[in-house]
Chain A
Amino acid sequence: MSDKKIDDVTGISTTGHEWDGIRELDNPMPRWWLWTFYATIVWALAYTIAYPAWPLISSATNGMLGYSSRAELRTELDGAVAARADYAAAVAAAPVEDIIADEALRQFATSAGAAAFKVNCVQCHGSGAAGSAGYPNLNDDEWLWGGTPEDIRVTIAHGIRFEADGETRFSEMPAFGGMLGRDEVTALATHVKALGEGGDLSGPGAELFANNCASCHGEAGKGDITLGAPDLTDAIWLYGSTSADIAAQIRAPRHGVMPGWIDRLGETTVKELTVYVHSLGGGQ
């Protein structure tokens, strides 16, 4: 039981609580503190009426103000969309070349494109757009289907070998494994490697190349972007640059597929992606 008594030193009554001879004085709380405490109670009640608070069986009270964090997010997102509406409308109206020529529009489209790239493109091309074996590096200056803004836009919009889109880019290299013998493929691979790195171009591969490959890749092996045929003389190899890699590609070519994005992302976002990809350093 508590044992209230008056403290000798201060003359104030104690609460009766005692710990090792130390007793607690029963001083009143400061008034401002007490009133603040009452105010917080009033505030808390008002708050639970005004805002969603009390849990019910399957939901909660909605509150008189009708607030929800989802609606607040919606408002903020709408606000962000509205804030960039002018630029977005300008991007939608202008051809890609004009966007690139206008500094302010280019910066806007590059930022927007970078954001769209991170969501839609990095899964294959990598976060730095450097690609990997089978997935082209978008930073370099070789373009299978052309590196002008319009070329890039068409590729992004309609994809490559994307059957759902009738305007998709399409090319198919035959599998020479069934047509050429093992030695012939090796000779051809040696020739193709020599095209880029220098070396003997008069070997048996030269004739094989002229007969089988030059129709798409050109007499000199420079490729043809209208056919999506890669340049075989440069330093960039999508599927690897060793003789074995080249021979494998001659025997049974792999064909990458890229989806077309126009239906999923819309015209404006495709343009923004185009500007971003074009800005990576290899755009023409």
Chain B
Amino acid sequence: MSGTIEVERHEAEAVNSAKLRQPLYTARRKIFPKRASGSYRSFKWLVMAVTLGIYYLTPWLRWDRGPHAPDQAVLVDLANRRFYFFFIEIWPQEFFLVAGLLVMAGLGLFLVTSTVGRAWCGYTCPQTVWVDLFLVVERAVEGDRNARIKLDQAPWSARKLGLRLAKHAIWIAIAVATGGAWIFYFADAPTLFVELFTAQAAPVAYITVAILTATTYTFGGLMREQVCTYMCPWPRIQAAMLDEHSLTVTYNDWRGEPRSRHAKRAQAQGIATGDCVDCNACVVVCPMGIDIRDGQQLECITCALCIDACDGVMDKLGRERGLISYATLADYNANMALATGNGAHAIEPAKVRDAGGALSEAVAHFHLRKIFRPRTFIYFGGWALVGLMLIYGLVTRDRLEMNVLHDRNPQFVVLSDGSIRNGYTVKLLNKVPEVRTVLVSLHDLPGATMNVVGIDLPDSVSVPVTLEPDRTKSLKIYVRQPRELGAGGVQALRFTVEDRSTLEAADYTTSFESPE
């Protein structure tokens, strides 16, 4: 067989293909994905490194905020109800900003899905990333696909036990590290790290680590593709957001069919053959256990590893890449129409490529301008609008605020000289991590003066108050109005607070009660 190009063939069946699909209560059939290599695989390594790096390392970044605030760049301080993100500090009442981020994430998902399909699923979803990581371990310990199948079918032996123990031990170590990294977002990471290993951390820390260890190990190591197929709502939602111009991983059967394992012989006999040599390379690399040649399927997370596998085979055969490729439904349909004469006959490979294998010029290819269509503009517009609103909200938010609660019981007190006194609880919110002195003043009530409990000053209309850094200060303020200056009934009263060094100010209008 000199001169024949050798392509490795795999005897493989896609365990999750429609024809093999089993009842839901039967045991899962294991998938042994083979290692793929190619540009998409390389890109996925990069994405994995970046996303895992962000997840594991972020809590260790420092960010100096002065002596009155923690120096951890990203910190969810539940005990003190503060959220720190680099230069941003968020109080609980500003949490709508985070809700806005969630809206942006949702719209961003629409945008990405309508252009490049289920890219979230294939590249960045934690489930995908951690399963990928667990598969790296599995391959390193047990070998690639064939070795793993052999091991799985072999009877229990010391070697099998040793390999399995090693694999699960490494998986659990990764799972512990994953659960461990999570809690560092909620406390000072270096301190908690020491506490964690000296049995001094809070029970909730250990419980959280235990739960996340269990979920990581179970989802990433044991359940894998079942999480995507059975548990996750995303595939259903995302599938609904695809349209005919969205990129999806597509088997281009208009040039692949009729597939043949013996193309040379068939051609010698005058039988037309497509580019697919039925080597099953796309099937054995699939982490979801499907055969992409069956068409678009709910299980497909568009990880594009089958593209890498197929491109490698096409290269060996000297044919154009892209038998499996990212393609839009519109392009696919156009090419299919070309190959079948608008459905008049079965696929004729000669209509889309010449004898040398070069594709016809009439074949449609994806063009970048197809990304720009009304749907994507609307998504991007909504996404950008929410983003601008958030930036505006963040930039213009108040860092000095005041809330006033008027005493209801009693509503007013008559004093011995006949003047009327009302009580107020005034809350001053100093949202910057610095000590500052502010001036609290009283307005709009004729003749009224106030005094602040705990601040020993004569009655006046303004009182200087020192605020603790990054804290709310609660003042009890008594306002009194001489009888002869009062209008009786309910009068308006305004408190103001101002920081004269930064020119920040806030005010609050409330009421002053007196007898009719």
Residues in B neighbouring A279, C-beta threshold 8 A: 453, 476
Residues of A within 8 A of B371 (CB): none
- What band does the interface of chain A fall in when counting residues whose beta carbon is under 8 Å from B? 20 to 34
Contact B416–A236 (Cβ < 8 Å): yes
Closest beta carbon of chain B to A36's beta carbon, Å: 14
| A140-B409 in contact (CB<8A) | no
Task: Enumerate chain A residues within 8 angstroms of B415, measured Cβ to Cβ.
Answer: 140-142, 235-236, 282
- Inside 8 A of A27's CB, which chain B residues have their CB? 23, 25
Contacts of B478 in A (CB 8 A): 281
Task: Pick 13 A–B contacts, CB within 8 A, sort by A.
Answer: A126-B410, A128-B407, A128-B408, A128-B409, A128-B410, A130-B409, A140-B413, A141-B415, A141-B416, A231-B416, A236-B416, A281-B423, A281-B453
| Docked complex Cα distance between A29 and B407 (Å) | 62
- Interface flags for B407-438 (1: CB within 8 Å of A; 0: not) read 11110011111100101000000000000000
- B120-142 CB contact bits vs A (8 Å, 1 = yes)? 00000000000000000000000
CA distance A106 to B414 in the complex (A): 26
Answer yes or no: A137 CB below 8 A from chain B CBs.
yes
Which chain B residues numbered 351 to 410 have a C-beta less than 8 Å away from chain A?
407-410
CB contacts (< 8 Å) of A126 on chain B: these are: 409-410
Chain B count of residues within 8 A CB distance of the other chain: 19
Picked from B410, B417, B453, B476, the residue with its CB within 8 Å of the CB of A137 is B410
Residue from B410, B414, B454, B483 within 8 A of A236 (CB atoms): B414
Judge if A28 is at the interface, Cβ distance under 8 Å. Answer: yes
Select from chain B the residue with minimum beta-carbon distance to A127: B409
- B 267-289 to A, binary, CB cutoff 8 A, 1 in contact else 0: 00000000000000000000000
- Decide yes or no whether A103 CB sits under 8 A from chain B: yes
Min CB gap A154→B, angstroms:
21
A residues near B23, Cβ cutoff 8 Å: 10, 27
In whole Å, how far is A51's beta carbon from the nearest beta carbon of chain B? 21
State how many angstroms separate the Cβ of B259 from the closest Cβ of chain A: 32
Q: Is A148 interfacial (CB 8 A cutoff)?
A: no
Number of A-B contacts (CB under 8 A): 56
Q: CB distance A106 to B454 under 8 Å?
A: yes
Q: Known contacts A27-B23, A279-B453; is A235 also within 8 Å of B410 by CB?
A: no
* Other contacts beyond A30-B25, A281-B413: 17, CB < 8 A: A27-B23, A28-B25, A103-B454, A128-B408, A129-B410, A139-B410, A139-B413, A139-B421, A139-B423, A141-B416, A142-B415, A234-B417, A235-B483, A236-B414, A236-B415, A281-B453, A282-B415
B476 cross-chain contacts in A, Cβ below 8 A: 279
Which single member of A28, A235, A282 contacts B418 (CB below 8 Å)?
Answer: A235
- A130 CB contacts on chain B under 8 angstroms: 409-410, 413
Residues of chain B within 8 A of A28, CB atoms compared: 25
A56 CB to closest chain B CB (Å) equals: 36
Give per-residue flags for B452-472: 1 if the beta carbon is below 8 A from chain A beta carbons, else 0: 011000000000000000000
CB distance from A37 to the nearest CB of B (A): 15
Q: Which of A1-55 contact B (CB under 8 A)?
A: 10, 27-30
A106 to B476, alpha carbons, bound, how many Å?
13
Nearest neighbor of B421 in chain A, beta-carbon distance: A281
**Closest-CB distance, B24 to chain A (whole angstroms):** 8
- Give the chain B neighbours of A137 by CB distance below 8 A: 410, 413
Chain B residues near A10 (CB-CB < 8 A): 23
> In the docked arrangement, what's the CA distance between A281 and B452, Å?
10
Q: How far is the CA of A131 from the CA of B219 in the complex (A)?
A: 65
In order of increasing CB-CB distance, the 8 nearest A-B pairs are A128-B409, A234-B416, A130-B410, A235-B418, A139-B413, A142-B416, A128-B410, A140-B413
- Chain B residues with CB under 8 Å of A103's CB are 454
How near does chain B come to A283, taking the closest CB pair, in angstroms? Answer: 10
Q: Which residues of B contact A281 (CB under 8 A)?
A: 413, 421, 423, 453, 478
